[in-house]
Structure 1
Amino acid sequence: MFTINTQKYQLYGFSKFLLNRNTVTSEFIDRVQICLSNEEDVYKHYFHKIMVHNWSGSPEMLYDTMSEFYGTTLIPVNYTLQGDISSFYSSSLMLILKIINSNFMFPSERNMYNIDILLNDKTSKQCFEERVTIEDIVNGVVSKRFSENLELDLSNICNDLEFIEKKIYFYKIGLLNHFKILMLRMGRDTKILNLSNNNLSEIPHDIMNFFVKGDLVGINLSYNNIMSLVNLHRSSSKLEKIWLEGNPVCEDMDPDVYVRQLIVKFPRVTEIDGIKLCEPGFTFRFSRNYIASNDMYCKMVVEKFITLYYSHYDKKPRKIKSFYDNDAVLTISTSFDGTEELNLDPCYKTNTRNVANPDKKNLVMNNKKYYYTVNSVYSTLNSFPLTVHDLSSFCIDVPIFSSSLMMLVVDGIYKEKRNSLSDSEDPYVYFQFRRTFIFSSDTNCGNQKFTILNDMFSITYATEENISRSFKIPIRNMNILALINPDPEDIKTIAKAFCHITQLKMEEAKLRLKANDWDFCKSLKLFMTELRAERISLDKFLMDDDDFSDISNLSDVD
């Protein structure tokens, strides 16, 4: 019978003992097995030097090969290569026992490698300058990476500064599976899991298993080595946010295909690569380019303006008059030389001020072109050729946003058809533009109204680099039936269309549209929800004896 004291120090007398096939004894093996069966903590603080002879591969290959062959987790410390001996430290007695049982050899690619062990060569204090175990260090590193907003940041964890300082070779993220109690605790509380910069080729399901039963709603897999979405198997049905940018799969894939495939794999996703998805499958791709404002209301206002304004601007005639204040001012600046101007539509010379080539005789008059009042602004902008803007190229800044004033700066690319065309030419000419809009704002009965006071429009040729990156993403569903500050005629038109589809009375249709800011799609969606729930009374609908004359002709619906 052993006393508690002798059990605790079964291997204490084997300090710096060279262990190999010649020195190992059955008595020593029995002592190791007793230590393992008692799970004695003291041995977690003793590190043994593992020396592998004639290993020709990388250290990572050595760790992986030994872990696979011996079936145990290996977290090496202080790897060195001296001559033909690769050595590292480990506190794992299980690894020691398995090396002994394999007669101090292990195979790899038809080669057999000899192993020597220097038992109890160092203590944890000698390795780390404090009495601490590998488990304590890993627990500390992972716990520090858990933020107040319930995000667990495991990005580039193998190169964590504490691991590097302590010479711990945490060579792959899968080693975290060894720390089950820690990971189960983290999995219970984590909402966002950041696995970026870990050289992953797929979602690590062994890691994800700790999180699927918790409240995980977002996963960041950016800047890894994911080659195909086929390898991206769904780990949780709760995922609403996913990041994949910086992976090879994102380099050549069409953005629309990319978004659609991710939606199929993750049906509940509402945000991809930090960009929020809007109505089914459509995303405001320029939203991520906000610089000055993170205010949600500000973003909503700007998104609505950009979508509506440019959907109207890219049509002939440009139905943009309602966006401008009665006293609005427009200036249009260009920097084309004389030859360039001749190759463009005459309006670029007639209606713009050329800052690169002003008329020196009439410098003040011809280089300062201002258009005052809404009618002048409207007629000037409509004199320009038909355009197509690439919303995916837009970079948006909101330097000022208050209850009475908003400044909006939009940079982007647009194109228009050439006047003359040779067989080898692109049918379009591409322009880089910047527009600075200054809005006034007033609130009436709880509704905030924005109108453009100043529109400063600057135009240059787009560079070849910008052209090559533009018009890659088809823009659809531009909220065609969403109105802003509609006049009575617009209200009548959209209400007729709504009545025709829903069979609601005209006044009920107008009330519903107004309550949803004249957004036809949103109003129709809410109507269908209430209809299925039988929450709409029959007196709201047109009856057989009601007059259908006001909805029978929809030819004037735009």
Structure 2
Amino acid sequence: MSDGGRCYSDHDDHYGGGFFVKKRKGRGPFVGKMVSEGPHKYRNKGGYGPYPRSRLEEDDGDVGESYESSHHRFLPYGRGGKRSHEKRDKKKFGGFHRDSPHQGRAKYNEGWKSWYKVTIPHGKKYDKFWLLDTLQDVCPVPFTPVQFHTDHSRAHFYVDNSAAGKALKQISRTITDRDNFKVTILTRPCPPPQSLAKELNDEEIEHFKNCMQKRYDGANQAMDMKAVRSDPDLVANKVDVILNRKCYMTTMLQIIEDNVPELLSLDISNNKLFKLDDLAEITLKAPNLKILKLSENMIKSDLELNKLKGLKLEELWLEGNPFCDSFRDQTSYISVVRQHFPKLLRLDGHELPPPITFDVETPTTLPPCKGSYLASDDIKALVLRFLQQFYACYDSEDRQGLLNVYHDEACCSLSIPFSVGLNPSRSTIGEYFKYSRNIRKLRDANLRFKLLKQKRLNVVGFLNELPRTQHDLGSFVVDILAHSNTLLCFVVNGIFKEVEGQSSHALRAFSRVFVAVPGSDGGLLLVNDEQFIRDANTEEIHKAFATTAPTPSSSPVHVLASQDMVLAFIQLSGMNSEWSHKCLEDNGWDYDQATQVFMKLNTEGKIPDVAFIK
């Protein structure tokens, strides 16, 4: 976008405007503070500062002049300050009055102190309800979001609370999304949203309704609202209708719904529309619309059309919009527009080849996500019992008891996200980096072999080197990948926290794949153990350890007969049947308590050797 000889990138609010900034070595684009996160001062020399798009939201709606001004070439290495033609004017006329840096923006009003505009870069990819719920949970100051909308890749909303606006800025980059990216939050004071700034009164609505009635063609069920702001009747009655403002567009759509919901054609050309968010409700107000004319507006991206994808248009007019000039040929233009409206027959008055479509309507919603997949009740009981025993030992002070769980030829490996390896000292899971065997990035064959732990003793020795943990059994999701009489493969996803070291109480998410074969005692022996560890995201952190995991005595899934419990305890402890039975009996057949007592006494060396003779 250009104005007064300066050009602004669409992403100026990310990096601070249209001036050159030397890149700092070793720093990513979002490591330091953004312009919007710093003091709210204009950084450019003249012009509108780092928020050129804000003029479109805070102006009086007549944005045509700024866009239609001459386009000067942007020189990123040129000297700032006064432009050459300004210097010539100064010499010719003996001086000139430099424009105020705030010219073109609405003047600051004391009543605006409470309003803040909140911007989430790349926020469009998030689910609206997840994003707002997460912000409301984390923000220490309660707030109500007003007019949530998206613009390109960003999400925006307003808050009528200066304390909430400042608090939202403080929690920037403290929230982690599902992909482990930090959520950036930008805030700044602003005037009230246009939808609240002015509402039409009853007299103005009546004049507007009469204008629409005059422009309606009943025979063709067509509404002509082209250049409606200059309509003589509206001008005579001093009703200034600006369709690129939400309140006017909403009023027009409501009148259509109340009076002509069967509308087939709508012409809103030449109304200086630069976004179509407010027009999106037409899919509900006039669902039968077949012809839409948007020519001679200021739409800069074909993505705006996606907001009208609910319409089954047959004819569309877009000529005269800036984005129409961005295509290398007519074929590309037609292809992009048809991605939004597959059944389109005419574009800008030209007939299009018949679309290739299928009559079968594909479902737009995915089925609800299910929990664990455990194949059958027998496998379910076996796997859940194994996991409870395995993690009871794994989370104890001594993991030597796992020697009875692994096969003599077992293999084990661990990996972490590759991004952590770029700078492990700055990551909370950097302590796992030296063990990480991420084979997608690890090219050294010798190192690959070294990081693969082989043989039972090496596997358990490696597991003993890892930090002590406490797993949240209630968070486990278990899926059986393959099973037969001689092999069982299953994956476990869940949450755990570390209970010692520098990262004590840090929450981690893990995914662990086990491959097991039948053991001699009817249990399972692991032949392969592959674990992936990452930082838990914000949603996982909120849910972690929220409920107590079921115990063997409280959950029907884990209720075992005394004989089965003895067999399970033999597998865990390595003791013979007599001593295993005695340990369980002495602890009231409480499997967890018996396990803890055994681990403690075994660590202290108080269990006689005879207990392990089978």
Q: Where on the TM-score scale, by shorter chain, does this alignment land: which range?
A: 0.3 to 0.5
TM-score normalised to the size of structure 1? 0.34
TM-score normalised to the size of structure 2? 0.31
Flag the structure with higher strand content: 1
